[in-house]
Chain A
Amino acid sequence: MNKNMKILIVDDFSTMRRIIKNLLRDLGFTNTSEADDGTTALPMLKSGDFDFLVTDWNMPGMTGIELLKAVRADPKLSTLPVLMVTAEAKRDQIIEAAQAGVNGYVVKPFTAAALKEKIEKIFERLG
């Protein structure tokens, strides 16, 4: 796994972005950027060469699931690995995210170990 890969963290709460950023740094990933919802994240993804997207679901403007669908619909971004980190825990939602092509799903509150495991699993699968 390339520790220098460029990661975009999308969450409307700055506290949560900071927590995820610190956890990623502990895992050795320091090349991170932040956005506070899908509307700001999508142009960043389109113009920047991001390797990995970590997004919340429930955000004002454009939600995480809408962002995921937009990413999958964009020919340039369609293969971007996406990890959803969210408090949304309804079965229907997890199924919807899976059908929309999410690569991993972590429910809040989560542990550093859970985040690490999911990220490793995603990149193991992608080879």
Chain B
Amino acid sequence: MDEDQKSAEQSLCDSMQAHAAAFHDAVEKGDMQAASRILQDINTERDSILYNEVGKLTRELHNAIVNFNIDTNHAVLSEQQKSEMADAQDNLGYVIKLTQQSADKTMDMVEEGIPMVTALADEAIELKAEWAKLTRRELSKQEFGALAERISKFLDKSATDTLVINEKLSTILLAQDFQDLTGQVLQRVMGLVQEVESSLVHLMKIAGQVDQITGQQHKEKVKKQAKDGKDIEAEGPIVNAEERENVVSSQDEVDDLLSSLGF
């Protein structure tokens, strides 16, 4: 593209020089008709080169927009024709859904399992104390009979409840499958983001060329500073805490900072 532009500029330059010489001759000879015709030729040539370049840029702009994966006609598209952008949104929604499901399922299992384990543990502790009494021969025949029955019931309950708990643990294990699924989806979305970024860079280059040809200049935009006294915006989890200076990377650092403030 840059090469093309250079050669276009070169040919414009060559033809200008040729025309200039002819214009000079015509003026010297006093042939005003020829001189004004040459002036018109120069204008026509300049315009045609400009139009050519604008045409080329328009084509590239079109290609860049097509590669950008934005559907300009979202409403009339069917499910299958959805753009990759809309697709990415669905994908991210899917990630939220899966992680939510998994978290809910895991916590259901834990909430159901904890009371069962607690009950078994409590009974085991009590039976252990009774059993110790037995070994010290502190139990009457009647008490021994009651203990034997309790132990029998406990063993039955242990056998069935541990099976149930085992099942719950397996369910928890399986509920972690979201990691694999969401990981794949997120990788796809990351790929799309990369594509969009390179398309955007391409668009910016084209915009730069348009400005060059039309001779436009833009004022450098001044970055807005955050106003004093305004609330600091929430940012969510810091993904790269180690690489940033203005963030804390552990609870210890939070505590240090707070204690330096007199907390």
- Which of A69-127 touch B at CB < 8 Å? 87-96, 98, 105-108, 110, 114
CB within 8 Å: A-B pair count: 70
Minimal Cβ-Cβ distance residue in B for A94: B257
Flag B223-263 by CB within 8 Å of A: 1 or 0 each: 00000000110111110010000111111001001100101
A89 touches B103 (CB 8 A): no
Q: Mark A48-71, 1 if CB is under 8 A from B, else 0.
A: 000000000110000101100000
* Chain B contacts for A30, CB-based, 8 A: none
State whether B234 touches A88 (Cβ < 8 A): yes
Given contacts A65-B231, A87-B236, contact A105 B258 (CB under 8 A): yes
Give min CB distance, A87 to chain B, whole Å: 4
A19, A63, A91, A108: the one contacting B246 at CB < 8 Å is A91
Is residue B90 contacting chain A, with contact meaning CB distance below 8 A?
A: no
B126 interface residue (CB < 8 Å to A): no
Known contacts A22-B107, A91-B246; decide if A110 and B251 are in contact (CB<8 Å). yes
Cβ-defined contact, B248 with A98, below 8 A:
no
B-side contacts of A93, CB under 8 Å: 232, 234
Partner of A89, one of B100, B111, B231, B248: B248
A93-B110 Cα distance, complex, nearest whole Å: 34
Q: Is the CB of B235 within 8 A of A107?
A: no
State whether the Cβ of A18 lies closer than 8 Å to any Cβ in chain B.
Answer: yes
Q: A89-B248, A107-B248 are in contact. Are A15 and B232 (CB under 8 A)?
A: no
Q: How far is the CA of A39 from the CA of B257 in the complex (A)?
A: 29
Of B99, B107, B251, which contacts A106 at CB under 8 A? B251
* In the bound complex, CA of A108 to CA of B250 (Å): 9
Complex contact B237–A57 (CB within 8 A): no
CA distance A93 to B254 in the complex (A): 11
Q: Is B87 located at the chain interface by the 8 A CB criterion?
A: no
- Chain A residues with CB under 8 A of B45: none
Contact A95 B246 (CB under 8 A): no
Tell me the smallest distance from the CB of A83 to a CB of chain B, in Å: 12
Question: How distant is the Cα of A90 from the Cα of B248 in the complex, in angstroms?
Answer: 6
Contacts of A105 in B (CB 8 A): 254, 258
Q: Which of B107, B234, B263 has the most CB of A within 10 A?
A: B234
Contact B231 A114 (CB under 8 A): no
Complex interface: chain B residues within 8 A of A65 (CB) = 231-232, 234
Interface residue from A88, A92, A98 paired with B261 (Cβ < 8 Å):
A98
From the candidates B99, B103, B236, B261, name the one contacting A95 in the complex (CB within 8 A): B261
B9 an interface residue at 8 Å Cβ cutoff? no
B window 185-206: CB within 8 A of A: none
Bound: A15/B236 CA distance, A: 16
Known: A57-B234, A93-B232. A98 touches B258 (CB 8 A): yes
Asked if B232 and A92 sit within 8 Å, CB to CB, the answer is: yes
Task: Say yes or no: is B104 at the interface (Cβ < 8 Å to chain A).
Answer: yes
8 closest residue pairs by CB, A with B: A58-B234, A87-B237, A15-B103, A89-B247, A89-B238, A98-B261, A89-B248, A90-B247
**Interface residue ranges, B against A (CB under 8 Å):** 99-100, 103-104, 107, 110-111, 231-232, 234-238, 241, 246-251, 254, 257-258, 261, 263
Known: A15-B104, A18-B107, A89-B238. 4 other contacts (CB 8 A): A22-B111, A65-B231, A94-B254, A96-B232
Interface residues of A (CB under 8 A from B): 14-15, 18-19, 22, 57-58, 63, 65-66, 87-96, 98, 105-108, 110, 114
